[in-house]
Structure 1
Amino acid sequence: MIEHEGLKLEWLGYATVRLAAAGTVVYLDPGRYGVLDGYEPGDGDVICVSHDHHYDSEAVRSVAGEDATLVAFEGLNTHRIDRDVERPVDLPCEVRRVDDEADVLVDDAIVRTTAAYNDPDGPHVGPGGKPYHPEGFGCGFHVTLDGTSVCWPGDTDVLAGQERLAVDVFCPPIGGTYTMDRHAAAELAEAMAPSVVVPVHYDTFEAIEADAEAFVEDCRSRGVSAVLDE
């Protein structure tokens, strides 16, 4: 667990992050690949889901508390998902759909969304040349709890404008293949200048293996504090 200015942050594996401050608990993309097996706290007030690949309805059920709100990207479509999942409307949560330019208050959390996609002319494309995450397929989340802001950019390349976000805690993906890699994430962290960086979305499977310790050292060499929550 990482603590910063009253905020408690846990990386639970893959893309899953738990945030807690001042009695409010937020989960970002809970589940997938067994990262929450045996984990059923039922304490989530706000549950954010960025896109189809990370949607796990069983995990949402396991972390949702009473009166939980599911903040789901508007493009999330269970008919495209080749896994056994429930529709968001069938879950025991209020559902709020958001685009990639939202700014909403959910309980005591300010939830903003950001664009998240792969450059079609960049390296993160499939064999047919289509981006793994085309523009409009998902979003990132910028969450403020009790005055502390967390940027969790989602499955994305580094995009123009990200460096201008005001961020206390930055949680970039560093696994490469489907997202920015550790080198690009370190460069972005330097430009953003957050108080602390906590990497996510790496080492879950071979395609996203990354040297997280080297990432931390790279950030520190750039004057940016970075820590691992493993």
Structure 2
Amino acid sequence: MTVRHDDLRVTWYGYATARIESEDGTVAYTDPGRYGVLTGEWTPPGGGNPKEAAHPRATDHRPMDADLVLVTHDHHYDSAGIERVAADDATVVVYDGVDPAGIERDVKPLKDLPFEVVRVDETDHVAVDGVGDVWSVPAYNDPDGPHANDDGAVPHPKGLGVGYRFTVGANDTSVFWPGDSDALAAFAELDASLFLANISGSVCMSGAEAAALADRMDPDLVVPIHYNTQAFLEADSASFASDVAKRGVPVALDESAE
């Protein structure tokens, strides 16, 4: 299934991979790859039936059609995934904190990617020709927040990653992808038409926290992603959608990409 919003078509392929295409043919991806979601190898946690999972079925997806690729942090950096989706003339925006040399997976150095790579800090603004504007925002778990251990240790400390507020298409439709983060108060100040909500809970905002954030942000549409790919990302997307809808915010689930 593909969700339509304004002049955009939004498709979730699993994990943090979302494809956003405008009517003028501009294509952007968030954090493409990992866990077999783009290679057709993903299976639900516990070996369940992919057709019954609240998650897109895996697909062997190599369109190489992206004009823009956004990478939020080390956990979501997958050079092979980027190469599957990026067009030859793509711009790949990568947070400065991403360090392939420190990633314990088989990934390429950024310098070996055959695309224009733009590094950004926590509060950068980049204008990508032919695509739109990209704003980076700090994204993290608060050591005093709900996803911290008793000693304040968190899976995503400040400085590890960012979220992105970006625009796509002739209408400059705005999209917000927070990456892996708590539902930070600063996010509610962002003007975003489409909120790609991260609802997995254990390592970032939960469904209830994301729904409360959506209420404060008041976007035109919420589409949740980054859940149920692995056991530690388990979430009840139906309950999340019901919670958001009761708050008067439009919401759509995209759990059947092919």
> RMSD of the alignment, in Å?
1.2
**What is the distance in 1 between the residues matched to 2:146 and 2:250?**
28
TM-score of the pair, normalised by structure 2: 0.86
Q: Secondary structure at the match of 1:92?
A: coil
Q: Secondary structure at the match of 2:185?
A: coil
Inter-CA distance 14–126: structure 2 relative to 1 (3 Å threshold) = farther
Is 2:127–2:134's contact at 8 Å kept on the other side of the alignment? yes
What's the CA shift string for 1:114-165, capped at 9, x where partnerless? 1100011223236864210000110001111132111111100011221111
Is 1:78–1:86's contact at 8 Å kept on the other side of the alignment? yes
Look up the match of 1:25: 27
Look up the match of 2:139: 116
Aligned residue type for 2:36? G
Matches within 5 A, 1:51-66: 51-66=73-88
Is 2:194–2:222's contact at 8 Å kept on the other side of the alignment? yes
Is structure 2 residue 95 aligned with structure 1 residue 70? no
Matched-pair identity in %: 47
**What is the distance in 2 between the residues matched to 1:196 and 1:128?**
37
Q: Secondary structure at the match of 1:59?
A: helix
**What is the distance in 1 between the residues matched to 2:206 and 2:13?**
20
Q: Which has the higher contact order (CA 8 A, sep 6+)?
A: 2
**What is the distance in 2 between the residues matched to 1:100 and 1:58?**
25
1:79 CA displacement: 1.9
Is 1:197–1:224's contact at 8 Å kept on the other side of the alignment? yes
Is structure 2 residue 15 aligned with structure 1 residue 8? no
Is 1:141–1:151's contact at 8 Å kept on the other side of the alignment? yes
Q: Secondary structure at the match of 1:70?
A: strand
Look up the match of 2:44: none
Look up the match of 1:212: 237
**What is the distance in 2 between the residues matched to 1:156 and 1:23?**
30
Q: Secondary structure at the match of 2:198?
A: coil
Is 1:24–1:109's contact at 8 Å kept on the other side of the alignment? no
* Bigger mean CA offset, 43-52 vs 118-127: 118-127
Is 2:101–2:109's contact at 8 Å kept on the other side of the alignment? no
1:168 CA displacement: 0.6
Matches within 5 A, 1:218-229: 218-229=243-254
1:164 to 176, 184, 189: 189
**What is the distance in 1 between the residues matched to 2:93 and 2:193?**
22
Q: Secondary structure at the match of 1:69?
A: strand
Is structure 2 residue 159 aligned with structure 1 residue 136? yes
Is 1:112–1:141's contact at 8 Å kept on the other side of the alignment? yes
**What is the distance in 1 between the residues matched to 2:151 and 2:29?**
34
**What is the distance in 2 between the residues matched to 1:53 and 1:26?**
19
Is 1:126–1:132's contact at 8 Å kept on the other side of the alignment? no
Structure 1 unaligned runs (5+)?
none
Aligned residues: 230
Is 1:69–1:96's contact at 8 Å kept on the other side of the alignment? yes
**What is the distance in 2 between the residues matched to 1:128 and 1:40?**
43
Is structure 2 residue 75 aligned with structure 1 residue 49? no
Is 1:139–1:154's contact at 8 Å kept on the other side of the alignment? yes
TM-score of the pair, normalised by structure 1: 0.97
Aligned residue type for 1:227? A
Look up the match of 2:200: 175
